């Protein structure tokens, strides 16, 4: 046996690791360039979709702080769904209001956050794990900012109608909870992520609205009308 054999083994492992690092850093663009993919498969994030960035919202996004002073009559929409692209991150965000209650979801396929919050005076504030979203509702758009961990991105989400918008599916499998989240835009772009438990998950396969099979587990996506009560309770 060559005395260097074990060293070669370690070296091959190190080279593999380096190769995977380079490949991952290249295939998964830096977060500024990431586009929520028109998912073609679980690993569809390797293919950044240029359309996503081309569709990016205009730069007219304004700070939520600039919202007009509250009026006497609260004109906050009672029932509305917003969905749009998160600037720089390229992920999608969806916000749905139902009588002052708000649910939201942010996802770029790789990172995600489920959000809950309130809407009043044409302002929504949502919170989720490591995430804070504030947005002003104006002219059929929710425009604001998402803070995710140490990052902060602006977004502008337009009003959308079914089948576009936010979807969520939950399932219980042998003691583990599976939660899928999807956002679909009117231009066909979609993004999603499926988690099992808190720590394991993957980017969701292409989303067509029907029952999604994930490793044989059937997931039935519901729109906010269907899941808001159980989600907020």
Q: How many CB atoms lie within 10 A of CB 118?
A: 14
Nearer Cβ to another protein (23/232) = 23
**By the 8 A CB rule, do 190 and 207 touch?**
yes
**Number of helices and strands in the chain (H, E):** 3, 14
Radius of gyration of the chain (CA): 20
Nearer Cβ to another protein (8/70) = 8
Shortest Å distance, C-beta 37 to another protein: 11
Shortest Å distance, C-beta 25 to another protein: 9
The reply on whether position 40 binds another protein by CB under 8 A is no
**By the 8 A CB rule, do 92 and 36 touch?**
yes
Q: How many CB atoms lie within 10 A of CB 31?
A: 16
63, 65, 74, 198: which one binds another protein (CB under 8 A): 198
Shortest Å distance, C-beta 201 to another protein: 8
Containing H/E element for 50?
helix 50-54
Chain contacts with another protein (rule: CB under 8 A): 1, 3-7, 9-10, 12-13, 16-17, 20-21, 23-24, 27-28, 42-43, 45-46, 109-112, 149, 173-176, 193, 196-203, 215-217
């Amino acid at each position: 046996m060559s005395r260097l054999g074990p060293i070669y083994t370690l070296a091959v492992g190190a080279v593999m690791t380096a190769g995977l690092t380079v490949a991952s850093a290249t295939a998964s663009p830096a977060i500024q360039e990431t586009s929520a993919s028109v998912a073609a498969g679980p690993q569809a994030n390797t293919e950044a979709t240029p359309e996503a960035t081309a569709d990016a919202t205009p730069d007219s996004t304004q700070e939520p702080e600039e919202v007009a002073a509250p009026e006497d009559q609260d004109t906050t929409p009672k029932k509305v769904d917003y969905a749009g692209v998160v600037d720089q991150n390229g992920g999608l965000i969806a916000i749905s209001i139902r009588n002052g209650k708000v649910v939201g979801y942010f996802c770029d396929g790789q990172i995600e956050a489920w959000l809950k919050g309130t809407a009043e005076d044409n302002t929504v504030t949502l919170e989720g794990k490591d995430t804070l979203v504030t947005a002003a509702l104006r002219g059929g758009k929710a425009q604001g900012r998402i803070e995710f961990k140490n990052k902060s991105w602006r977004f502008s989400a337009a009003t959308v109608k079914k089948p576009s918008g936010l979807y969520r599916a939950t399932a219980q499998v042998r003691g583990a909870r599976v939660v899928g989240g999807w956002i679909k835009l009117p231009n066909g772009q979609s993004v999603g992520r499926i988690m099992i438990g808190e720590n394991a998950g993957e980017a969701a396969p292409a989303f067509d609205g029907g029952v999604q099979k994930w490793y044989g587990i059937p997931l039935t996506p519901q729109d906010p009308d269907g899941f808001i009560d159980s989600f907020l309770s």
